[in-house]
Structure 1
């Protein structure tokens, strides 16, 4: 799914529509369970934006770049750390 998301077939308008619908659904579902704290929402959005920026940088780097392996490791480790920290 990420390959489609970052491919040329998925244009900006389609990405914006999908993101808006997904965020609205998640916020609605979460608000039915419990009231969301501002800090929790801010941290979750920051983690999502960080993941997106790191993935964009990783895709722009050539495989020969010395930082390419580091960005690959970050994009694999940050989601795991984020889920653990949000559960905690």
Structure 2
């Protein structure tokens, strides 16, 4: 999914639509149970961190000694972070809180990738 997000086939309109739908899902889930500020910031930071790890991974050549390590890190880090968040969620409405946490992680990726690839206004 992230390969499509970072490809040229994903237009600005599609990215905006994905951000709006994600925000609407988070808003709908928050009407039942709100995610704490700490967990929200942690999820946003996780998403932004995944974007920066992907940038580093793409800059490394295939025969670089750290290329495999970044591949493993990019695969394992989101799983570890989401498991840490899910274990710290409140017991009531745990599924809705988990959806919010995942949504905030995606928003972290969306915002940092859109900002990094924006068109420059001044030369």
Fold match (TM-score > 0.5) = yes
Structure-1-length-normalised TM-score: 0.81
Which gives a bigger RCO, structure 1 or 2 (Cα 8 Å, sep 6+)? 2
Q: How far does residue 64 in structure 1 lie from its aligned partner after superposition?
A: 1.1
1:35 aligns with 2:34: yes
Mapping of 1:18-29 within 5 angstroms?
18-29=17-28
Taking structure 2 as the reference length, the TM-score comes to 0.61
Where in structure 2 are there 5+ consecutive unaligned residues?
88-123
SS in 1 for 2:85: helix
CA distance in structure 2 between the aligned counterparts of 1:75 and 1:66, rounded to whole angstroms: 16
TM-aligned CA distance change 1:66 to 1:7, over 3 Å: same
Normalized per residue, the structure richer in helix is: 1
Aligned residue in 1 for 2:46: 47
- Could you say what the CA RMSD is over the residues aligned between the two structures, in angstroms? 1.9
1:45-84 equivalence runs, <5 A? 45-84=44-83
Q: Which runs of 4+ in 1 moved over 4 A?
A: none
Residue of structure 1 equivalent to 2:6 = 6
Q: By how many angstroms is 1:15 displaced?
A: 6.1
Residue aligning to 1:17: 16
Report how many residues are paired.
87
Residue 14 of structure 1 and its aligned partner are, at CA, apart by 3.8
